[in-house]
Amino acid sequence: MKVQRDKNKLIVDIHGMRVEPARFRLETTIQSCNAEVTEIVVIHGYNSGQALKDMVRDLQAPRIKQIRATLNEGQTIIDLKKK
């Protein structure tokens, strides 16, 4: 999993990972984000199937405000509540 910081946004690349390790890493990342982070862009890919995309869009965590699809089929945006 690759993570990049861009101001108040994290860009997390999980494509190529298996679902359960990716879920664990994403949930851990969401929980550990500081208050400045308001958005996580998850790059999950789309050519290798729907499993990662479906997992990201079904995530449940107290800090998640909303999960949005983008025009790019290979990524999803997670908006976070303020801490």
Tokens at residue 65, please?
């405000």
Helix (H) or strand (E) holding 77: strand 75-80
Q: What are the domain boundaries of the chain?
A: 2-80
- Alpha-carbon radius of gyration of the chain: 12
pLDDT for 79: 97
Report the predicted TM-score, pTM, of the whole model to 2 decimal places.
Answer: 0.92
Cα(45)–Cα(54) distance, integer angstroms: 11
CATH T-level fold of 2-80: Ribosomal Protein S8; Chain: A, domain 1 (3.30.1370)
Cα(48)–Cα(11) distance, integer angstroms: 20
CB neighbours (10 Å) of residue 30? 19
- Residue 30, classed as helix, strand or coil, is helix
The pLDDT profile of the chain, 83 residues, written as one tens digit per residue, is 899 999 999 999 998 899 999 999 999 999 999 999 999 999 999 887 799 999 999 999 999 999 999 999 999 999 999 87
pLDDT for 82: 84
